């Protein structure tokens, strides 16, 4: 059981740590900021003001467009007060300062004439809504990612042990490849999960913004991953000893044995997973167990990842079993080795 917990933590901690430490996770949310902005206001019946040379308008077309929008706002007729100061986000304040210097007016408010109207220009702090960093979230997530990744890598050591003289159902090299594939695939779901947690808990801007990614990340990390870890741990932990006395099987829950005199049955148990074929639900064989039945004990050998391991188990059974069981072993072995 400890091996299952350990493998599950490896599958969980390494992807989560890598996501938090390496991948671009959004740590920003919409917030309010204040920055200086240009405001233009029409002065009805105002005193005269200096005209702006045409060459200056050519040099600063954004300011000309801002002045025209102030005089002829698109919201005319909508009940909006057209005499109120109009903020112009499109105007660069550096351009405004150069325009101001060219007019020879240093202190605000600045007055100038445009289309026979007097405009007053000022700069003042204005409220804006934009993405801002959540305080301390980015360094905290990087630190947490480093700790989780380190813990996951430490737990890897000791997962791949040699079984001694028995037949290991899940050889270390095959299980290492399996573990790498699971960790890589889980990385995508971990990315989705971290994004979902940050969005739900801290209001950050989502990198994905899809209900599918939220649902699949919770399903994979919370339900599928423990099952995958249990299957992998069970396969890796199983060691079979077959000799003239009978069959011994070591697994997650200890060692059990069936002697040849107690043997009462040999079969293959198939586990199916649902799938869709042309839109129609159908079953797909996910794995198959070799079931060795005794009068009091039943042994279930996991589906080895390597065909050579199956052959080794079946050869050992054939070599050591009583004569009356050898034909049954050959038939069951063909079924166990079948792909479909």
Which has the higher per-residue pLDDT, 47 or 226?
Answer: 226
| Edge-to-edge strand ranges of the sheet holding 263-277 | 263-277, 280-294, 298-301
Query: Which one, of 305, 311, 297, lies nearest residue 236 by Cα?
Result: 305
- Determine the Cα–Cα distance for residues 119 and 296; give it in Å rounded to an integer: 99
Structure tokens at 219: 């399903």
Task: Using the CB atoms, write b or e for 108-136: b if 16+ within 10 Å.
Answer: eebbbebeebbbbbebeeeeeeeeeebee
Residue 200: inside a domain, yes or no?
A: yes
| 56 in the same domain as 21 | no
Residue 272 is predicted with a pLDDT of: 64
With 80 as the cut, is the pLDDT of residue 250 above it?
A: yes
Residue 225: inside a domain, yes or no?
A: yes
Q: Say which residues have a Cβ less than 8 Å from residue 163's Cβ, sequence separation at least 6.
A: 239, 250
- Give me the count of residues in the chain: 340
Residue 89: inside a domain, yes or no?
A: yes
Residue 150: inside a domain, yes or no?
A: yes
**pLDDT band per the 50, 70, 90 thresholds, residue 277:** very low
With 90 as the cut, is the pLDDT of residue 291 above it?
A: yes
Give whole-number Cα distances, 283 to 270, 271, 273, 336, in Å. Answer: 11, 9, 6, 18
Which has the higher per-residue pLDDT, 8 or 48?
Answer: 8
Confirm if 286 and 339 have CB atoms less than 8 A apart: no
Residue 187 is predicted with a pLDDT of: 95
Average pLDDT (102-120) is 84
Confirm if 19 and 187 have CB atoms less than 8 A apart: yes
- Determine the Cα–Cα distance for residues 22 and 18; give it in Å rounded to an integer: 6
**pLDDT band per the 50, 70, 90 thresholds, residue 214:** confident
| 144 in the same domain as 8 | yes
Q: Of 67-76, 107-116, 227-236, 262-271, which gets the smallest average pLDDT?
A: 67-76
- CA 224 from chain centre, in angstroms, equals 15
Please identify, among 94, 126, 158, the residue that sits at the C-terminal boundary of a domain.
Answer: 126
| 217 in the same domain as 171 | yes
Query: Which one, of 136, 154, 183, lies nearest residue 19 by Cα?
Result: 183
**pLDDT band per the 50, 70, 90 thresholds, residue 276:** very low
| 244 in the same domain as 331 | yes
Residue 230: inside a domain, yes or no?
A: yes
Q: Residue 15: helix, strand or coil by DSSP? A: helix
Average pLDDT (161-187) is 89
CATH number at residue 249: 2.30.29
Residue 290: inside a domain, yes or no?
A: yes
Percent of the chain with pLDDT over 90: 40
Give whole-number Cα distances, 205 to 30, 193, 201, in Å. Answer: 7, 14, 11
Average pLDDT (116-142) is 88
Q: Which residue is listed with tokens 């052959």? A: 311
Residue 78 is predicted with a pLDDT of: 47
- Residue 118 domain boundaries: 37-73+83-126
Residue 319: inside a domain, yes or no?
A: yes
| 58 in the same domain as 104 | yes
| 179 in the same domain as 253 | no
Task: Please give the tally of structural domains in the chain.
Answer: 3
Q: Say which residues have a Cβ less than 8 Å from residue 146's Cβ, sequence separation at least 6.
A: 17, 21
Residue 29 is predicted with a pLDDT of: 85
Average pLDDT (276-288) is 55
| 92 in the same domain as 63 | yes
Q: What are phi and psi of 276, to 5 degrees?
A: -115, 125
Please identify, among 65, 96, 126, the residue that sits at the C-terminal boundary of a domain.
Answer: 126
With 70 as the cut, is the pLDDT of residue 292 above it?
A: yes
Residue 82 is predicted with a pLDDT of: 59
Residue 152 is predicted with a pLDDT of: 95
Average pLDDT (300-313) is 91
Residue 111 is predicted with a pLDDT of: 87
Residue 153 is predicted with a pLDDT of: 94
Residue 32: inside a domain, yes or no?
A: no
Residues paired with 41 in a beta bridge = 120
Which ranges of the chain does DSSP label H, i.e. alpha helix? 2-21, 54-59, 61-71, 93-103, 137-156, 172-202, 211-219, 225-237, 307-320, 323-337
| 204 in the same domain as 112 | no
| 290 in the same domain as 252 | yes
- Determine the Cα–Cα distance for residues 154 and 141; give it in Å rounded to an integer: 20
Give me the DSSP letters along 20-32. HHTS----EEEEE
| 149 in the same domain as 110 | no
Please identify, among 126, 142, 161, the residue that sits at the C-terminal boundary of a domain.
Answer: 126
Confirm if 202 and 137 have CB atoms less than 8 A apart: yes
| 160 in the same domain as 19 | yes
| 64 in the same domain as 23 | no
């Amino acid at each position: 059981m400890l091996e299952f917990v350990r493998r599950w933590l490896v599958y969980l901690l390494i992807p989560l740590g890598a996501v938090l430490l390496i991948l671009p996770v959004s740590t920003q949310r919409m917030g309010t900021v204040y920055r200086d902005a240009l405001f233009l206001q029409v002065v009805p019946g105002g005193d005269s003001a200096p005209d702006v040379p045409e060459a200056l308008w050519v040099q600063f077309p954004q300011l000309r467009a801002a002045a025209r929008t102030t005089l002829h706002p698109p919201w005319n007729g909508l009940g909006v007060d057209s005499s109120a100061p109009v903020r112009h986000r499109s105007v660069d304040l550096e351009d405004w300062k150069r325009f101001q210097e060219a007019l020879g007016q240093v202190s605000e408010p600045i007055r100038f004439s445009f289309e026979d109207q007097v405009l007053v220009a000022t700069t003042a702090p204005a409220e804006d809504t934009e993405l801002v960093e959540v305080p301390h979230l980015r360094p905290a997530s990087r630190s947490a990612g480093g700790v989780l990744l380190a813990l996951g890598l430490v737990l890897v050591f000791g997962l791949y042990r040699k079984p001694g003289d028995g037949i290991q159902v899940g050889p270390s090299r095959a299980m290492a490849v399996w573990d790498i594939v699971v960790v890589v695939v889980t990385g995508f779901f971990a990315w989705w999960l971290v994004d979902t947690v940050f969005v739900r808990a801290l209001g950050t801007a989502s990198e994905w913004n899809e209900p599918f990614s939220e649902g699949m990340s919770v399903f994979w990390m919370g339900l599928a991953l423990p099952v995958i870890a249990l299957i992998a741990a069970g396969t890796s932990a199983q060691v079979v000893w077959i000799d003239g006395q009978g069959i011994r099987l070591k697994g997650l829950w200890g060692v059990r044995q069936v002697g040849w005199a107690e043997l009462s049955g040999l079969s293959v148990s198939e586990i199916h997973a649902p799938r869709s074929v042309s839109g129609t639900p159908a079953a797909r064989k996910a794995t198959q167990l070799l079931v060795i039945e005794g009068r009091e004990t039943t042994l279930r050998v996991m589906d080895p990842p390597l065909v050579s391991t199956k052959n080794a188990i079946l050869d050992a059974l054939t070599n050591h079993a009583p004569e009356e069981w050898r034909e049954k072993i050959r038939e069951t072995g063909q079924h166990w080795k079948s792909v479909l």
